Amino acid sequence: MILVCGEALIDLFVRASGGSDMSTHAVAGGSPFNVAVGLARLGVRTAFLGGISRDHFGAFLVDRLAREGVDGRFLVRTDRPSTISIVATADDGQPNYAFHGDSAADRSLQLAHLPGTLPDDIQALTFGSYSMAVEPVGTTFAALAQRERGRRVISVDPNVRPAVVGDMQGWAVAAERFYRTATMIKASDEDVRVAWGGRLSIADAAAYWLECGAHLVVVTEGAKGATAFSAAGSVSVPGRSAIVRDTVGAGDTFHAALLAQLARTGRLHPGAIAMLDLSEIRELLAYGTAAAAVTVSRDGADLPTAADIDWSTQPCLTE
């Protein structure tokens, strides 16, 4: 089992519909929430740890997790409101976010809410996005990551959200708590650019993360593909051709696919990840890019099943 730790929220998609009107569409979201759903769809036993409101939106999120087959035993219900993320999609498919979540349920998790021990069948924990940096949940999750490091895989996706965390210097300090516990780090080229204000290259950022103790660092670059860095060296794969509807959830899909493939091949353990050779890492990247290509071809964060990815990786047949 993989325990996904972080926020579950409501993505409110808005589009101008002509004149003075605007159309809206509310869906379940949040980067960690997407990862949990993605893992479950890929056949991995998954649980979710996070604060979820008892309001109407929170009930919707809990029901959605249950319908996707995500274990809800670690959910912490609260009377605080659900976070609402306003998503406006640009012409190139890139989403722009505005968050309304001060004092919301997903930020309210405290140390007392953590389980005293985790079941032995939990092989990995994931952390990511703004729940690493806002309080008190950031300190709570950092304590959990520190407690479990070395015994289980710790996978981190910074998924930087400046509009939420505000103070980027404070964010950097908060995020490093997680980097120094991580077995693997998955990030995007945008994460690298935003986190360091363009001062570090992808290779420099990867070197920093490896120095922090990670065994595997993967950086995605959208249609250009992805590059991985480890003690064995670096390896890249190109992106897969796809008709892009939007890119919402693509990075979360990639993260889930990496973890699912590690689980499927019996490598979801800190020692096994440290021993991956470049050919094995290349296979991981290829699976992640194939999975992400499915998601970008769909509206919103509609993550693929294993069957979807298997189909997408078959060669095209012509008559």
* CB burial of residue 75 (10 Å; 0-12, 13-18, 19+): buried
pLDDT value at residue 14: 84
Token pair listed for 293: 């290509």
Token pair listed for 262: 């590690």
Cα-flanking dihedrals φ and ψ of residue 23, to 5°?
Answer: -90, 145
* CB burial of residue 146 (10 Å; 0-12, 13-18, 19+): middle
At which residue do the structure tokens 């009107």 appear?
Answer: 21
Query: Do residues 100 and 43 touch, judged by C-beta distance below 8 A?
Result: no
pLDDT value at residue 17: 65
Q: pTM to 2 decimals?
A: 0.93
Write out the chain's pLDDT in tens, 319 residues.
Answer: 999 999 999 988 887 666 677 788 889 999 999 999 999 999 999 999 999 999 999 999 999 999 999 999 999 999 999 999 887 876 666 677 788 999 999 999 999 999 999 999 999 999 999 999 999 999 999 999 999 999 999 999 999 888 787 788 889 999 999 999 999 999 999 999 999 999 999 999 999 999 999 999 999 999 899 999 999 999 999 988 888 888 888 999 999 999 999 999 999 999 999 999 999 999 999 999 999 999 999 988 899 999 999 755 554 433 2
pLDDT value at residue 314: 53
The Cα–Cα gap between 1 and 192 comes to 29
List, in order, residues 6 or more apart from 143 with CB less than 8 Å away: 111, 114
The Cα–Cα gap between 242 and 133 comes to 34
Q: Nearest Cα to 139, choosing from 176, 101, 180, 110?
A: 110
pLDDT value at residue 91: 65
pLDDT value at residue 304: 94
Largest CA distance in the chain: 63
Q: Nearest Cα to 76, choosing from 26, 36, 23, 113?
A: 113
The Cα–Cα gap between 128 and 251 comes to 11
Compute CA 95 distance to the chain's CA centroid, rounded to the nearest angstrom: 15
The Cα–Cα gap between 4 and 282 comes to 24
